[in-house]
Amino acid sequence: MISERFVSYLEQSIRENWLQTALTDYKGESFKYADVATQIELLHKLFLDAGIKPQDKIAVIGKNSSRWGILYLSIVSYGAIVVPVLPDFKPDDLREIIQHSDASCLFMDEGIFQKFDITRHNDIKGIISISDFQLLHSGHESFSVAFNEFKLAASAKISKETSEGFKLPEIPNDQLAVISYTSGTSGFIKGVMLEHNSLAANIRYAQRNMPLNAGDRIVSFLPLAHAFGCAFEFLFPFTLGCSITILTRTPTPQIIMAAFQEIKPSLILSVPLVIEKSSRNSYCLS
């Protein structure tokens, strides 16, 4: 029987679905479960070499993508705390979130970084691009050294043909995993703290009640920085061994329906706003 630790769900799915496709950017790059494992191992070493400790905070600020997902998995399975941030927050709100969360390392879309005033964040160890894992800023020489080692290892690393030897750290479920910031509709933006227990509970519920199986295809178009989209369009299908196609562009009804027609997902999750927009445009989500 599988351990109900959140990280155990990830480890088992990666090992059992090693050569299957895990994450794909719509019309873009793709990663097998073995590739995800390789990236996790490389990022864990980067965190360790850069002096990032378990329960340190790492912010991920950008649009949905396969690499966004890989970062999320790598951070929480290392034992650090991921701070997922929507890419459309205003600069002042973004600054407040980073300061309030005490994030020491940032992964960021380059377009956001170009508008980011790094001089107001002296405690940041480093900033790395989400799209290609290139260094955008280093606040300490030790981070630059760690990043150079990471790039050298990444250029030489080849995914193993089998899952033998792949293992994630044993992280208890009572540890903090995520700080998720709300949109601040009733005041200033608030950080909601989610333990590994919360992530594991969502996965258990979905595995028992939602009709998906290993190998099924799903289209992820809800914001991954929101708890609902992250839990049920990403983490849950990933733990089953599904193939997840991620829309990296604004999910207009036209783009969503084109992706549905091409990929033919086994399960569709949505929210009222998307359904309303689709209805006004005479599209059907069934």
- Give 61-81 pLDDT, tens digit per residue: 999 999 999 999 999 999 999
Average pLDDT, stretch 97-102?
92
Q: Which domains are present in the chain?
A: 6-280 (3.40.50.12780)
Cα end-to-end span (Å), the chain:
35
pTM, two decimal places = 0.93
Percentage of residues in the chain with pLDDT exceeding 70?
Answer: 92
> What is the model's pLDDT at position 286?
43
Q: What is the mean pLDDT of residues 242-255?
A: 92
What residues contact 234, with CB distance under 8 A and at least 6 apart?
Answer: 69, 72, 220, 224, 244
Secondary structure class of 221 (helix, strand, coil):
coil
Residue 160 confidence (pLDDT) above 70: yes
Structural contact between residues 219 and 265, judged by C-beta atoms closer than 8 angstroms = yes
CA dihedral sign, ordered 16, 83, 102, 142: positive
pLDDT in tens, 204-215: 999 999 999 999
Q: Mean pLDDT over all residues of the chain?
A: 91
Over range 78-93, report the average pLDDT: 93
Length of the chain: 286
**Which residues does residue 232 pair with via DSSP β-bridges, in sequence order?**
none
